[in-house]
Structures are given as C-alpha cells and as structure tokens.
Amino acid sequence: MAALGCTKAVTLPAQIYVRDEVRECVKRHFNEHEPLDLARARINTWSRLNLALRTVLGSYHVGMYRQWIAAAAASSG
C-alpha cells in the first residue's frame, strides 16, 4: 500500500513535492534503497510498454491514447 501511495503521490502533476505524510509512510515501510528500486521498476515497466507499443521516441503527445483507453474501459464493462 505504501508503494501505491508513493507512486500516486509522485505522479500528481499539480504537486511539486510529495507530502510529508507520504514520505513518512515510505520511510516506515521501506529501507533507504527500496524506494529507488521501485522507481527503477517503474521506469523499466514504462520502457517495456513503449517497446511493446513500438512508440517512437519523442512522438508522444498528450491524449494520443485517449481513444484506446476509452475503448478498453467500454469493453471491460
């Protein structure tokens, strides 16, 4: 749960810094190296996804997958 909270906190574009409560939660649940391991795993996941989708470096623009996401949401019920 701490990993999900931290991931959500660092992906909110309106926030510049992660709130102190999130940082303290991460400190309670992970040693000093594990948050960096989570960050590496996240970067690796995005890299693998981009390879699978054959995304051309620099070609992304905001909203380009909106139709795919909407179609997936509609098909899942």
Helix residue ranges, H only, 30-65: 34-53
Which stretch of DSSP H or E encloses residue 10?
helix 2-11
* Global confidence as pTM: 0.46
Give residue 77's identity as a one-letter amino acid code. G
User: In the predicted model, is pLDDT for residue 6 greater than 80?
Assistant: no
pLDDT of res. 29: 86
Give residue 64's identity as a one-letter amino acid code. M
pLDDT of res. 14: 65
Each residue of 10-67: pLDDT tens digit? Answer: 676 666 677 788 888 888 888 888 888 888 888 888 889 888 988 887 877 888 888 8
pLDDT of res. 4: 74
5 within 8 A of 30, measured Cβ to Cβ: no
6 within 8 A of 26, measured Cβ to Cβ: yes
How many domains does the chain divide into?
1
Residue 31 domain boundaries: 2-75
- Tokens standing for 34? 């594990």
